[in-house]
């Protein structure tokens, strides 16, 4: 999904020796994002006349200005997201590779207690259902020529929130697995006493010390990865907040405008559009806020 919407302009490369994956720069992904930008801007220019409000709409001059500004903001916000992921993809490549290396190091620890991360699948499935609802609703309510222009910005910014939430969830699960492993080490002394009946406990203690050292190093690296993730998504999240906030106010304006015009058909259209917009926006920010809160709790726990 992320590759289709232009939020993953990099490629997977398998290292056959260690049987692990690293991420590399992808020229095809960069060209794909450029094609998305050109196609989106071209389509918007081609269908500009259909975006104009009807002549019989109340306060049409101001409504035209508001509508134009919303669509211009959507163009700027969406294309800036695509450009940002193209320009800053090296940072994301470093983040994903560091996560993969850290995960591989932990999995080689015999005492490592891995915790399954099923939340990722629920986040992806739920956001997919929400976006599907938005797509179906927009197709049923608006003319086909308007659907891509209205949907693309909402989908792009929604999946930006989901991508950030997923990465944070992966980091949180790593922290929880590390902490669970550290707590598990509290029972090692009793195991060592049992082993002393047959072998010397020095090699076992050395092994435990080596395992703790590796876990400690990975634990320190995870905080660096968390900071890198925050630095990468700072600008896209700011753009997303600005776009969702301004567009929501504009949608609310059109609802109020249709109420004064006493146009029931227009009221119904704006109501369903605004409700779907609020749903996808609120859901994305609720998921992101919960993940950010848990990540901050991990940092405070360390401090």
Task: List, run by run, the mean pLDDT of 10-residue segments along the chain (303 residues).
Answer: 78 58 76 86 71 51 70 86 88 86 76 67 82 82 78 88 88 80 61 45 59 77 86 91 85 74 63 76 86 74 53
2 lies in a domain?
no
36 lies in a domain?
yes
pTM of the model: 0.80
3 lies in a domain?
no
Predicted local confidence at residue 216, as pLDDT: 76
Q: Tell me which long-range contacts 6-13 makes (C-beta under 8 A, separation of at least 24).
A: 6/32, 6/33, 6/36, 6/81, 6/82, 6/85, 6/156, 7/81, 7/85, 7/156, 7/159, 7/160, 7/163, 8/85, 9/33, 9/85, 9/86, 9/89, 10/89, 10/92, 10/93, 10/96
273 lies in a domain?
yes
Predicted local confidence at residue 303, as pLDDT: 46
Predicted local confidence at residue 132, as pLDDT: 84
247 lies in a domain?
yes
4 lies in a domain?
no
User: 113, 277 in Cβ contact below 8 A?
Assistant: no
CA distances from 218 to 8, 67, 97, 246, 261 (A): 26, 50, 13, 41, 62
Predicted local confidence at residue 16, as pLDDT: 46
- The number of folded domains in the chain is 1
37 lies in a domain?
yes
Predicted local confidence at residue 263, as pLDDT: 61
Which is nearest to 160 in space by CA: 70, 234, 91?
234
248 lies in a domain?
yes
The contacts of residue 289 (CB under 8 Å, 6+ apart) are none
User: Can you give the residue range of the structural domain that contains 285?
Assistant: 10-302
Predicted local confidence at residue 239, as pLDDT: 92
Predicted local confidence at residue 55, as pLDDT: 46
């Amino acid at each position: 999904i992320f590759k289709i919407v232009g939020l993953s302009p990099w490629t997977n490369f398998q290292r056959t020796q260690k049987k692990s994956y690293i991420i590399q720069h992808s020229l095809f992904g960069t060209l794909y994002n450029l094609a998305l930008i050109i196609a989106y801007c071209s389509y918007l220019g081609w269908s500009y006349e259909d975006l104009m409000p009807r002549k019989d709409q109340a306060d049409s001059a101001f409504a035209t200005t508001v509508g134009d500004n919303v669509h211009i903001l959507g163009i700027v916000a969406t294309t800036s997201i695509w450009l940002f992921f193209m320009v800053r993809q090296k940072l994301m490549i470093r983040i994903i590779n560091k996560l993969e290396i850290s995960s591989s190091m932990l999995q080689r620890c015999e005492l490592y207690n891995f915790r399954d991360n099923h939340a990722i699948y629920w986040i992806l499935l739920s956001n997919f259902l929400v976006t599907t609802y938005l797509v179906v609703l927009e197709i049923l309510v608006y003319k086909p020529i308007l659907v891509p222009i209205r949907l693309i910005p909402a989908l792009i910014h929604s999946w930006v929130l989901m991508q950030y939430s997923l990465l944070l969830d992966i980091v949180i699960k790593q922290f929880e697995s590390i902490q669970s492993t550290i707590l598990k080490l509290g029972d090692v002394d009793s195991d060592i006493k049992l082993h002393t009946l047959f072998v010397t406990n020095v090699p076992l203690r050395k092994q435990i010390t080596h395992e703790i050292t590796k876990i400690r190093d990975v634990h320190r690296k995870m905080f660096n990865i968390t900071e890198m993730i925050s630095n990468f998504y700072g600008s896209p999240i700011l753009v997303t907040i600005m776009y969702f906030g301004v567009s929501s106010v504009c949608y609310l304006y059109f609802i109020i405008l249709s109420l004064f015009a006493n146009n029931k058909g227009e009221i119904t259209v704006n109501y369903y559009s605004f409700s779907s917009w609020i749903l996808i926006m609120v859901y994305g920010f609720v998921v992101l806020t919960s993940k950010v809160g848990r990540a901050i709790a991990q940092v405070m726990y360390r401090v």
